Amino acid sequence: MFNDKTPPKKILLIATQQIGDVLLATPLLKSMRMAWPDAVIDVLVYRNTSGILMGNSDCNNVIESDNHPTFSAYLKLLKRIFRKYDLAVTTQGNDRAHQYAFLAGKKRVGLIPNLKKKHWWKKLSCMRWSLLDENNTHTVAQNLLLADLMGIERQYALTPPKLGSTDSITRLNQLLNFNLTETTYTIIHPLPMWQYKRWTDSGWIALIQQLLNLGQRVIITGGPAIAEQNYAQQLTEHFVESATGFVTSLAGKTSFAEMSSLLNHAAAYVGPDTATTHLAAACGTPTLAIFGPTNPVKWAPWPLGYHENKSPWQRYFSEYQIVSNVMLLQGRGECVPCHKAGCNDHNNSHSQCLDTLDTKRVIQAFRRLIKIDIEVVSVE
């Protein structure tokens, strides 16, 4: 696509999707940086996701866009990107991402959602394109198909956000009232954005009690949403009388970069299908990922040190799967994974496979997790 004499000087990577999607695009970003070390590489993301790229040396500039920009904001963005790039790469198959790529780049590479006639213009716009596979290809591997199309070497590692380690640890110690580098703790991230990915309240309470019985402190994390902060606080208050100071909520109090520091020193992490679970895996933290209806082949966390083109995960396993630092535990059921948004197929639906996930299974899986080495282990 580009020969050695004329490498691209300016590149725009378009990753206008959710936080986890942006993190899962960092191996592609790393691939471009390694192939073209002297290029200016900018990344276009939604405003509420830009923090996941903090401290990422593979990009020169992070360009923020609103999810639904006003006309004036849209014009301002176009003025900034219009025909400014030798190459525009989109990890998204939607219309807007391809429009941005067309307007920004002299050459374009991207993913196409399917071969329906309405996407003809995307195929025509891209010099090279690949079909988006929602079922059998992990998102990291899907993005790296674009590296193949550009003729550059794949880099598989995710890049977590980071701050100066001293600054982040100092602030975290102040929030926690203990030294996180000298204390054993596990991170619990209980509340995903959507109900259909959620495990039970009683399950989280029982798991936290088990961690306390093991002599660990518990840090409950969550995003800035009021619902997440309130839920984390309710879990914390449940243990006020029995374990004062040993269960702490940091929900809504940390940036993604600070969360990386917290994860780097944690004994383990437990969470549902959410961006923070992807981040925990990327940081090398022993991670227990609790999945229900979501297809793990496509969306389960990418384990640290996994460098293969195929997905690390099988579609379903009744016990658990372990690869490197990640253990995947799925709710049981003949329909698992159904690939739907819960039993009623909407974001606020319940998922029976998670509602009936036995607390004993989660506790047993956790005890297994904290005893394994951070090595690639075959699926159990």
The pLDDT tens digits for 129-149 are 999 999 999 999 999 999 999
Is residue 307 exposed (0-12), middle (13-18) or buried (19+ Cβ within 10 Å)? exposed
Confidence label for 165 from pLDDT (cuts 50, 70 and 90): low
376, part of any domain: no
Strand order in the sheet with 326-330: 247-249, 217-220, 185-188, 268-272, 287-291, 326-330, 321-323
Kindly state whether residue 379 falls inside one of the protein's structural domains: no
Same domain, 197 and 307: yes
Rounded Cα gap, residues 243 and 137, in angstroms: 44
Tell whether 213 and 313 lie within a shared domain: yes
Q: What is the pLDDT of residue 163?
A: 74
For the purposes of burial, counting CB atoms within 10 Å of the CB of 353, is it exposed (0-12), middle (13-18) or buried (19 or more)?
Answer: buried
Of the candidates 9, 238, 216, the one whose C-alpha atom is nearest the C-alpha of residue 105 is 9
- Which of 91, 121, 150 represents a domain boundary (last residue)? 150
One domain for residues 133 and 176: no
Residues 202 and 331 in one domain: yes
- Domain identity same for 251 and 325: yes
Domain count, the chain: 2
- pLDDT, residue 378, reads 38
71/193 same-domain check: no
Instruction: Quote the pLDDT of residue 3.
Output: 63
| 302-342 pLDDT per residue, tens | 999 999 999 999 999 999 999 999 999 999 999 999 999 99
pLDDT of residue 79 exceeding 90: yes
* CATH number assigned to the domain comprising residue 54: 3.40.50.2000
The answer to whether residues 117 and 192 belong to one domain is no
**Whole-angstrom Cα distance, residue 270 to residue 276?**
10
Taking CA atoms, 265 is separated from 165, 197, 300, 362, in Å, by 11, 26, 22, 22
Q: Which residues neighbour 176 within 8 Å (Cβ) at sequence distance 6 or greater? A: 219, 248, 250
φ/ψ of residue 86, rounded to 5: -75, -30
What's the whole-number mean pLDDT along residues 270-292?
98
Residue 169: pLDDT band with limits 50, 70, 90: confident
Q: What is the pLDDT of residue 376?
A: 38
Note whether residue 34 is domain-resident.
Answer: yes
Residues 75 and 145 in one domain: yes
pLDDT of residue 164: 63
Is the residue at 93 inside a domain?
A: yes
Task: Match 């990344």 to its residue by tokens.
Answer: 43
Rounded to whole angstroms, how far apart are CA atoms 173 and 25? 31
Residue 76's domain spans which residues?
A: 10-150
Whether 82 and 206 share a structural domain: no
Q: Which of 150, 181, 198 is the last residue of a domain?
A: 150
- Dihedral (Cα; 174, 176, 178, 180), 10-degree rounding: -100
The last residue of one of the domains, among 150, 178, 196, is: 150
Is 158 within a domain? no
The answer to whether position 378 is within a domain reads no
pLDDT of amino acid 375? 41
* Structural domain includes residue 377: no
Residue 298 binned pLDDT confidence (cut-offs 50, 70, 90): very high
Q: What global pTM score does this model have? A: 0.93
Where are any strands of DSSP class E within the chain? Answer: 10-14, 40-46, 61-65, 85-90, 105-112, 128-131, 185-188, 217-220, 247-249, 268-272, 287-291, 321-323, 326-330
Same domain, 213 and 360: yes
- 219 plus 95 within the same structural domain: no
pLDDT tens profile 85-144: 999 999 999 999 999 999 999 999 999 999 899 999 999 999 999 999 999 999 999 999
- In terms of domains, do 227 and 340 share one? yes
Residue 209 inside a domain? The answer is yes
Report d(CA 129, CA 145) in Å as an integer. Answer: 9
Residue pLDDT, tens place only, 1-52:
666 668 999 999 999 999 999 999 999 999 999 999 999 999 999 999 999 9
Indicate whether 270 pLDDT > 80: yes
pLDDT tens digit string along 188-247? 999 999 999 999 999 999 999 999 998 899 999 999 999 999 999 999 999 987 766 799
